[in-house]
Structure 1
């Protein structure tokens, strides 16, 4: 649903939270996860300020190929992508993070009018949006704090834009289960009607490459994973012993996904939100899935959600792809 808001040059945060604030959402989800079997927590809760900073470090690691591969594709094909996006466009980025990749598109586009980055981490987004606005003073930047996987409200389209296009990089769609991915694309199709979506997707490959990417030698991914427990200690009056949980990441070939878990190294009891929970030795909290795709699989998913599959750009090793999905009127 789109709500009216007069366009003006400002990076003031626009909140789309329709119900609970982020900290209450985190407490509800954490208690639900710890009460369930198997225990599973949404990866969106990684991204508080510290988690977002850790993820930025992950993107710079030598083992973590997705970011540099996607950046190389954007650098090489930005002029072609800009042709698909068209002149005077408004760009909506889902899960915007540090707003680095969008710069390559903005530099290639013909008179982009407005940029709407959506992210769940308000502090991180606000800082990044101010920096981007400084570099692109003619661009209207409207950062939106919210969860793009749920019902989403956006400011009205910029008065000088003739179409709205989407950008969903980083293979973040892989963090959604297949049903969630279909639901997200259906919502995106509605928001972007008459425009299109540039989607960055990690492809199926040798599991050894995937294992290295999610088990880096510097332990940054492990720290990123454990930070969700540190966040619970900070925000939910929890008492997790961080050193009593091990980072575990592996490729589940039958489900075509990387799984990240936090494994209890001993039998223990923890307190979260004034409730007690027991962990057996070896029991895990499943914190993230990262699904990998084939181009054929993406075409099938696009067709199911009403998109028209357009151009595809892949790196020489077929590790990653960018694809353009057109949205009919």
Structure 2
């Protein structure tokens, strides 16, 4: 399929911020992709919250059950005084974990980080009411670009960084390794990370989880284009795209794509970009890789975490949470 771009990339790049440059690059390279941050404006965060409640989407309740069953053990193992959550959203599942930390008596501070300011502040207010004894310090930021902010979080003891919801699966392999390495770099020996992973399972269940009958996931994926249009004064025809969830067995991941139904030309003034798409051309909006616990423990060990990590699974064996200490 032929596609064309008309723009002066060199001149424009001098005037764009890093997020805009990242997006422009993602849209102009083939295959076209979108950075995941564009999924999570306030509307996107609302839609994702709805996704967690659809019958086909098992991950949220599986992870919640793990936290409910093992929060006390996690608190006792880490003895963390500061808990940091990357991509915190509503911090819904995290409440169970924080309850256990409060009961353990050591936690002093909770730092949720998310790109959606409204969702972040609403969740922080709720947590302050629930646990007034904890300092709740919300940070608006993108964990793919702002991990350095963790170095500024004051603490008198160990830190525990939460990276839940299977979000680690949204990185490509090289990106995932780079992210885990950057996370290890900002943590001190004795700090902890807890990563939620969706486990490999039959393809029909995986496809159903990302193509629910209510169409909430499709609306969530489409909203990324709406967010980009609003942010960069664009006219991408969101209705001209079909939603295509695709299982890549070689990479063991779900690709969530938007496919142009008819040829289209779009303008993004804020990026100084004219974009032409042929009929059938796709934009890869998000991926969701699936894992084995052994693979994740190995990847964590490669960047500086203990090889003897703790693995917690839900009863059905659908999901796992890995708890690893920085060496």
Given the two structures, how large is their TM-score scaled by the length of structure 1?
0.88
Partner of 2:55: 62
Q: Which residue matches 2:82?
A: 90
> CA contact under 8 A between 1:165 and 1:192: conserved in structure 2?
no
For residues 185-200 of structure 1, what are the structure 2 equivalents within 5 Å? 185-193=180-188, 194-200=190-196
Q: Measure, in 2, the Cα distance between the counterparts of 1:168 and 1:30.
A: 24
Alpha-carbon distance in 2 for matches of 1:296, 1:155: 29
Maintained 8 Å contact 1:95/1:117:
yes
Equivalent position of 2:204 in the other structure? 208
Instruction: Indicate the residue corresponding to 1:276 in structure 2.
Output: 274
Partners of 1:24 and 1:302 in 2: how far apart?
Answer: 32
Q: CA contact under 8 A between 1:113 and 1:158: conserved in structure 2? A: no
Q: Give the corresponding residue for 2:11.
A: none
The equivalent residue for 1:325 is 324
Counterparts in 2 of 1:238-249, with a 5 A limit? 238-249=234-245
Shift of 1:124: 1.8
CA gap of 1:82–1:259, structure 2 versus 1, over 3 A, is same
Normalised by the size of structure 2, how large is the TM-score?
A: 0.88
> Match of 2:227, SS?
helix
Which of residues 294, 297, 318 in structure 1 aligns to 2:295?
A: 297
Native 8 Å contact 1:63 1:216 kept in 2: yes
Contact 1:174 1:291 in 2 (8 A): yes
Output one character per residue of 1:14-64: Cα deviation in whole Å (capped at 9) or x when no partner.
xxxxxxxxx955543333233221111111211111111111111111111
Q: 1:163, CA displacement in angstroms?
A: 1.2
Written as runs of structure 1 = structure 2, the 5 A alignment for 1:88-127 is: 89-109=81-101, 110-111=104-105, 112-127=107-122
| Residue of structure 2 equivalent to 1:74 | 67
- Mapped partners of 1:225, 1:175: distance in 2: 13
| Unmatched segments (≥5 aa) in structure 2 | 1-15
Q: Does 1:132 align with 2:130?
A: no
Shift of 1:190: 3.0
Distance 1:325 1:121 in 2: 28
Residues 275/198 of structure 1: CA separation in 2 closer, same or farther (3 Å cut)? closer
Could you say what secondary structure the match of 1:54 adopts? helix
In structure 2, distance between residues paired with 1:316 and 1:207: 20
What is residue 213 of structure 2 aligned with on the other side? 217
Task: Note the alpha carbon deviations across 1:117-150, whole angstroms, 9 max, x for none.
Answer: 1112222212211221121111101111112223
Q: Alignment RMSD, CA only? A: 1.8
Residue by residue over 1:194-233, the C-alpha shift from the partner in whole angstroms, topping out at 9 and shown as x without a partner, is 1211111111111111100000000000000000111122
Of 140, 151, 160, the residue aligned with 1:145 is 140
Query: Structure 2: how far apart are the matches of 1:192 and 1:98?
Result: 24
Shift of 1:157: 4.2
Q: Please report how far the alpha carbon of residue 164 of structure 1 lies from its aligned counterpart in structure 2 after TM superposition.
A: 1.0
- Does residue 37 of the first structure (1) align with residue 30 of the second (2)? yes
Aligned length: 305
Structure 1 runs not aligned, ≥5 long:
1-22
Aligned to 2:314: 315
